[in-house]
Amino acid sequence: MKVVLSLGSNLGRRFDTLQGAIDAIFDAPGLAFVAVSPVYETDPVGGPEQGPYLNAVVIAETMLEPRALLERAQSVEDSFGRARGERWGPRTLDVDLIVVGDQSCDDGELTLPHPRAHERAFVLVPWAEADPTAVLPGHGPVAELAASVGTAGVRLRADRTLQVPM
């Protein structure tokens, strides 16, 4: 199954955190790297006053179940000092599962596809760049969704390139 992960950081060494997260996500077995988007600097959405984020999208292939992927994502967040305090507050690292194949889930702890991905430019713009033919189940082609939400508050950071896991 194809899995799409959205990464974001707006505290500390943001770029180093994103790179470290990619390295950690692929360090354990069960995920095969497919693609990574360029890095974007984005304005925060919702929450308190806070600084800009660096965001990227990673695409992988997996046979892991969504719950195992969620546990891995949360473990990686924890290893980078993620504090789960204020909703939509600043964070060292945010790793969101956007889609896992065509699976759907809504059990209170995990919702797939991600319930707000279709309206978030910081997810859609990098995802469309990493996979121009991607489709968000229930919402349509990612490139069209990205065009409809626009790119206000989303700026390409051409000076930052994430390294592909080996």
Is residue 45, in this structure, part of any structural domain at all? yes
3 state DSSP class of 72: helix
pTM: 0.94
The verdict on whether 157 is a catalytic residue reads no
CATH number at residue 80: 3.30.70.560
φ, ψ for residue 17 (rounded to 5)?
Answer: -65, -45
CB atoms within 10 A of CB 124: 29
Is residue 27, in this structure, part of any structural domain at all? yes
Give me the mean pLDDT over the 76-101 stretch.
85
Is residue 51, in this structure, part of any structural domain at all? yes
Is residue 144, in this structure, part of any structural domain at all? no
Is residue 141, in this structure, part of any structural domain at all? no
Answer whether residue 93 shows pLDDT above 90. yes
The one catalytic residue among 82, 106, 155, 160: 82
pLDDT at 86: 67
| Structural domain boundaries enclosing 11 | 2-113
Mean pLDDT of the chain: 93
CA angle 124, 126, 127 (to 5 degrees): 60
Is residue 33, in this structure, part of any structural domain at all? yes
The span from the CA of 140 to the CA of 118, in Å, is 9
Q: State how many domains the chain has.
A: 1
The one catalytic residue among 72, 91, 120, 131: 91
Is residue 131, in this structure, part of any structural domain at all? no
Is residue 20, in this structure, part of any structural domain at all? yes
| Residues, the chain | 166
Amino acid 86 reads: E
Cβ distance 120 to 90 under 8 Å? no
The one catalytic residue among 16, 72, 78, 94: 94
3 state DSSP class of 7: strand
